[in-house]
Each structure stands twice: as structure tokens, then as C-alpha cells.
Amino acid sequence: MTYSLTVRDHMMVAHSFTGEMFGPAQRLHGATFVVDATFRAHDLDDDGVVVDIGRAAEALRGILSALSYRNLDDEPQFQGVNTTTERLCRHVADRLVELAREGALGGGALTGIGVTLHESHIAWASYEVAL
């Protein structure tokens, strides 16, 4: 059995893609990513939660703020790779994993973290990692 808690936030970024497959998305364009961060656990802590929802929302906010209102093509950490929706899911998830391991999210032992980025009303991507 698994419990999970999810919080939602968003970011607005510019970027471009390299590779013919991307067609017009090779041009500089942008996206609003509505971001869902999911935390999973086999059990709840004594307060009855998976994580402290306030700290989880704050953690997500901090991660997205470091990317938001920016042109991702200029960010050193993304040089040489396409900042596809899939890759950005992993970027956000990896940061959340670090914070979870530092105990920054409250709650008990997590078994997994998942991140979904909605790029429009008709497309989204996810990345899920076990802890």
C-alpha cells in the first residue's frame, strides 16, 4: 500500500530545441509549465501526513523560482541538452530528492517522488523515481 501527496505550482520560461524532429520548436519560444510534485510513502508519520504540505509547497516554489521568468537556453546547467518537458521533470524531481534526503520536507520515510509538467491542455510529461 502507498500513500501520496501532490502539490501544484507553475513556471514560465523561454527556450529553444536543437534537432530537426522539433520542427518550429527549434525557434526560440516559451511555455507555461504547470508542475505537480508527488511524494510517496508506505506509511504516514505520527501527524498523519506523507510530508509537511507547507514545506513541500515551499520547496517546489523555490526550485521553480530558480528557473522561472528565464530563458533556459542561457542557463549554464542546461548547456548542450534540450530542455524538453521530460528533462525538466527530472530536473525538478532531482532537486526534490535532495531536499527529501536532507529531511527538509518533514513527514516520514519517502518511497518515491514523481513530477509532472503540463505544457498545455493536451500534453504533459512525468518523471518518477524510487527512493
Where does this chain bind a copy of itself (CB under 8 A)?
Answer: 1-10, 12-15, 17, 19, 21-25, 27-34, 44, 47-50, 52-54, 57, 68-71, 81-87, 89-90, 106, 119-130
In this structure, the chain runs to a length of 131
Q: How near is the Cβ of 101 to a copy of itself at its closest, in Å?
A: 16
Question: Which residues 6+ apart lie within 8 Å of 25 measured at CB?
Answer: 16, 17
The nearest distance, CB 121 to a copy of itself, in angstroms, is 5
Tell me whether residue 18 is exposed, middle or buried, using C-beta atoms within 10 angstroms of its C-beta: 0 to 12, 13 to 18, 19 or more: exposed
Provide, rounded to whole angstroms, the least separation between the CB of residue 105 and a copy of itself: 11
Is the Cβ of residue 102 or residue 130 nearer to a copy of itself in the bound state? 130
Closer CB to a copy of itself, 46 or 102, in the complex: 46
The answer for residues whose C-beta is within 8 angstroms of residue 8's C-beta and 6 or more apart is 34, 35, 36, 37
